[in-house]
Structure 1
Amino acid sequence: MSRAVDGTRRLRVDLDIEPGKEWDCPIVAEADSVEAVNVNAVGEKCNVDLQPAGDGGMIRATGEVTDDCLCYAFQQHDCVPHIQRVEQGTMLVTTYVDDRAVIRELIEDLQSILGHVRLVRLAVVEGPDAAEQVTFDLSSLTPKQRQGLELAVVRGYFDGDKQVELGELAEELDISKSALSQRLRTAQAKLIKDVFDESDA
């Protein structure tokens, strides 16, 4: 559900998820590229309708919901995964959260069970019509800027209580504290500039 409750602010989160080849899920096992996905996961059963890219007909498949499933990970954080597309086994998944801390926890859980997970877009959604007020498209950043910003978000660096220090993040990335500080400043400046340029267009 993308509509904000009682006019409160929510966050739209877009994730690129690249599960390992051993991941057994009909979402990626039935077709290399998919234009539309409908998932109905109830209890331990998962029914998936897939529309392959091109002229292929609809594929219906069934799987089991286990503790290493994408759907299970989202359920644990009261999030609903909206799978936008699948290309060569990589999924673009959108979800909506009420709290930034949920983003960090969700990404950490997905990384632990699925491997490569990349935050590609954040948007603030608020008001009765759930209009996207502010959008941060991380694809405009360099790989190093995005890596630093993703790590900072996931580890809670921007949270009010700052659960991690800049030095700890720099050590994890094997770079100096000043280099990471510069990357984060440059990335934040670019994102803010992009937002204002878009709003002026």
Structure 2
Amino acid sequence: MSAAATTSQPRRPRSGNRRDEAARLAVLHAADDLLVEHGFGALTVEAIARRAGVAKQTIYRWWPSKVEILLDTLIEDSAKRIPVPADEPTAESVRGYLRGFARFLTRDPAGKVLLALLAEAQHDPDTARSLHERCLAPRRARERAMLTGATDAGEIAPTLGPDATMDALLGPIVYRALTGASIPRGLVDTLVDALLRPRAN
């Protein structure tokens, strides 16, 4: 790959250079911290550049906007901190995933990034498109596979389809986080018991 092709990538440097990787991580961490400190509206590429100790031009060479920076932060952090169970999912692993998701939204800076992007997506179609294509759709595919695997194994018995089930499980959690309400442990248990283990007739 030529140098020109390397620098044309909008989201990540791909040269493998250690200095580039250190700068990339510094930008992601700076964006994460500044969002938590000042909110999405006050977050600027200039402020990110200052906090990260890199030139603003460097950021624009790698990312077209602050939304794409935040998406990189969100995708990397969520993959590490709330991976979707993939190997022989059980009812308890689904419950554990939901509890982890609730903790992620309320205690993790990257969870604040997700909430901010969800809010911004309500009135910015470009943010909505990027958030869906880069983050929500790939994660939903893994969540769908998790529920399908657990259903096929006889671990759970949802009465709704996989997508509707995930919406019903995650919706109350996201709503409470968006409104600043706490997420009681019992909420997850109630959702799991009601939606994944229906009473026999």
TM-score by length of 2: 0.31
Which structure features the higher share of helix residues? 2
Which structure features the higher share of strand residues? 1
Greater relative CO (CA pairs within 8 A, separation 6+) = 1
